[in-house]
Amino acid sequence: MKTISENRAFGGVQGVYSHASEACGCDMTFGLFLPEEAEHEPVPVVWYLSGLTCTHQNAMEKAGAQAWAAQQGLALIFPDTSPRGADIADDEAYDLGQGAGFYVNATEGPWAPNFRMWDYLTEELPHRLFSAYPLDEGRQAITGHSMGGHGALTIAMSFPGRFRSASAFAPIANPSASEWGRKQFTAYLGADEAKWAAHDACLLMKKRGFDGPMLIDQGSSDQFLELLRPEALAEAAASARQNMIFRMQKGYDHSYYFVSTFMEDHINFHAEALYA
């Protein structure tokens, strides 16, 4: 594990680290905020998955999460959104390739050798983090924004018992029925739509739901509403009788101004579940 930077923040430490990833076949970078309590004992963890075009830096620097996490004694993990490097496959479009891993294991060329974000985030990175830092593996929560909201919800529902709570800011809720999903799933997973179902939050909600509380915030003035399909997620959750709070926030768009406005609510929501 290579230390890129460490800065004192809110009584704790905001670090940035990199390591060679077996899953992605390249060096991967992540941010980790450890509150002051981590100096004495393992602390609960909130994972934050970012959206299209983002790196580990976006939420780490714009979401304001560290202040609220420090108050609750929570660690924050900010992974990258894709493999990166000169030898890694990419695309001219902003919503495919580097910065747009979509949290799946690609099976199609040219993406398959490196775009294995599902394995990276659900197996490799947790193993490295929980063996190297004072983090409580038994108390985890997960959240994310946009593409990261899609990743947070699908991962949470695919690993029963791992996460005590899940939330999302403007998630890509029904990617199988949206251009933000159909395009990427075809590229990464192939044309067989049956293979997409494991990465669609609405379909997973109908199939199994989540074994804990959920919180979803969506801006009513989000410029990408038609691509996100929040109404499909709300309907699926109601049908599954999921323990979910769904809030349509009037006038808010898709930006980090929206995310930072409601970050305190999400951190407190997860703290309640993590300390229950």
The CATH number given to 2-274 is 3.40.50.1820
- The confidence score (pLDDT) of residue 199 equals 98
Angstrom distance (rounded) from CA 133 to CA 34: 9
Predicted local confidence at residue 32, as pLDDT: 98
Confidence (pLDDT) at 52: 98
* CA–CA dist 199, 188 (Å, integer): 12
Regions of the chain short of the pLDDT cut 50: none
| Interatomic CA distance for residues 269 and 106, integer angstroms | 33
Per-residue confidence (pLDDT) for residue 48, from 0 to 100: 99
Which residue among 56, 150, 199, 254 is the active-site one? 254
Residue 222 is among the residues annotated as catalytic for this protein = yes
Is 87 tagged catalytic?
no
Residue 178 annotated to the active site: no
Catalytic pick from 21, 82, 146, 167?
146
Q: Assign 3-class secondary structure to the chain.
A: CEEEEEEEECCEEEEEEEEEECCCCEEEEEEEEECHHHHCCCEEEEEEECCCCCCCHHHHHHCCHHHHHHHHCCEEEEECCCCCCCCCCCCCCCCCECCECCCCECCCCCCCCCCEHHHHHHHHHHHHHHHHCCEEEEEEEEEEECHHHHHHHHHHHHCCCCCCEEEEECCCCCHHHCHHHHHHHHHHHCCCHHHCHHHCHHHHHHHCCCCCCEEEEEECCCCCHHHHCHHHHHHHHHHHCCCEEEEEECCCCCCHHHHHHHHHHHHHHHHHHHCC
Q: pLDDT at position 57, please?
A: 98
pLDDT value, residue 196: 98
Beta bridge partners of 266: none
> What pLDDT does residue 157 have?
98
CA separation, residue 128 to residues 121, 124, 150, 186, 250 (Å):
10, 6, 23, 31, 40
The predicted pLDDT at position 170 comes to: 98
Q: What is the pTM assigned to this prediction?
A: 0.98
What is the per-residue pLDDT across 203-254, written as a single tens digit (0 to 9) for each?
A: 999 999 999 999 999 999 999 999 999 999 999 999 999 999 999 999 999 9
What is the structure's pLDDT at 257? Answer: 98
Task: Specify the residue for token string 């499909």.
Answer: 232
Q: At what angle do helices 65-72 and 256-274 cross, to 10 degrees?
A: 10
For residue 144, the model assigns a pLDDT of 98
Q: How many CB atoms within 10 Å of residue 184?
A: 29
pLDDT at 218: 98
What pLDDT score does 254 carry?
A: 98
Q: What percent of the chain has pLDDT over 70?
A: 100
